[in-house]
Amino acid sequence: MREQSIDLKKLRTRLKRQLQETIPDARIDYCLTCGLCASGCPASGIEGMDPRKFLRLLILGQDEALLETDWIYSCTMCQRCEYACPMKINVGRFVYELRGMRPRDRRPQNLQRSCDLQKESNSTGIPNDDFVWVVDDVLAEVRENEPEWADLQAPIDKKGAEFYLNQNAKEPTVEPEEMVPLWKILHAAGIDWTYSSRWWDGANYCLFSGDPEDWEKTVRNQAETVDALGVRYYINTE
């Protein structure tokens, strides 16, 4: 009877052990249940969950509840919990691992779709020719309507530029005029910069889907473009 209860306990804390193996400084057992993490967490109360409760469930072996809760997609992974925690426990890091454990077909489909699209080019799925066309069109309009900015630049694939910039895909897609203030600042500061015509999307949805190889691929695509263009600095605007 005693042996059976020990086995059950081991079974019930499978997720905790898995996280401890994956994250060497997980410090799960250090929790004091003080609740400081929950007091500053922007996701506290959503789906009936908060970081302190999340940790309680983990320590008590309530793996099923943790693997099922959609609260993991409300956590912003902002790390405020770790900042507030006297034991420096980072619940957002556990959330990231849980997202990766969720089967792809049971993840929020808009998140997974954006990530999948981004691995091919950009998270909106618009053709890259459209991005180039929008940039050129908006630039031409500014030059024509604002004489003081007649020599404004928005270079694309400029070899040897000093800075490589990307752009939130939402802007060229639905509010293209929002790109202009940044162009003007760069111009006024005399910055030599360029976009890429392919890897121009600065958001990285794969960072939130929980698959490290996916978000690594997204960053690597841009880093390789920086190298291919001979650009010195990579600025991620997101």
Interface residue with ligand SF4 among 31, 58, 180, 206 (CB under 6 A) is 31
What whole-number distance in Å separates Cα of residue 158 and Cα of residue 188?
19
81 binds ligand SF4, rule: CB under 6 A: yes
89 binds ligand SF4, rule: CB under 6 A: yes
What whole-number distance in Å separates Cα of residue 196 and Cα of residue 199?
6
- Taking the complex as a whole, the smallest distance from the CB of residue 100 to ligand SF4 amounts, in Å, to 15
77 binds ligand SF4, rule: CB under 6 A: yes
C-alpha closest to that of 201 among 135, 136, 121? 121
- Taking the complex as a whole, the smallest distance from the CB of residue 38 to ligand SF4 amounts, in Å, to 7
What whole-number distance in Å separates Cα of residue 96 and Cα of residue 77?
8
- Taking the complex as a whole, the smallest distance from the CB of residue 14 to ligand SF4 amounts, in Å, to 20
60 binds ligand SF4, rule: CB under 6 A: no
49 binds ligand SF4, rule: CB under 6 A: no
Q: Is the distance from CB of 209 to CB of 99 less than 8 angstroms?
A: yes
Tell me the backbone φ, ψ of residue 218, rounded to 5 degrees.
-60, -45
Q: Are strands 163-165 and 233-235 parallel, antiparallel or unpaired?
A: parallel
Interface residue with ligand SF4 among 10, 14, 22, 42 (CB under 6 A) is 42
CA triple 54-206-186, angle to 5 deg: 120
> Who contacts 18 (Cβ-Cβ below 8 Å, separation ≥6)?
97
Binding residues with ligand SF4: total (CB under 6 A):
28
87 binds ligand SF4, rule: CB under 6 A: yes
16 binds ligand SF4, rule: CB under 6 A: no
What whole-number distance in Å separates Cα of residue 238 and Cα of residue 233?
15
C-alpha closest to that of 98 among 210, 217, 214, 213? 210
Interface residue with ligand SF4 among 18, 22, 76, 237 (CB under 6 A) is 76
**Per-residue buried b or exposed e for 122-135, using 16+ beta carbons within 10 Å of the residue's own CB:** bbbebebeebbebb
- Taking the complex as a whole, the smallest distance from the CB of residue 116 to ligand SF4 amounts, in Å, to 24
> Which stretch, 87-95, 117-125, 183-191, 209-217, contacts ligand SF4 (CB under 6 A)?
87-95
What whole-number distance in Å separates Cα of residue 140 and Cα of residue 53?
55
Indicate the residue whose CB is closest to ligand SF4: 92
Interface residue with ligand SF4 among 8, 34, 101, 150 (CB under 6 A) is 34
80 binds ligand SF4, rule: CB under 6 A: yes
- Given the rule CB under 6 A, which residues bind ligand SF4? 31-37, 41-43, 51-52, 55, 75-81, 84-87, 89, 91-92, 95
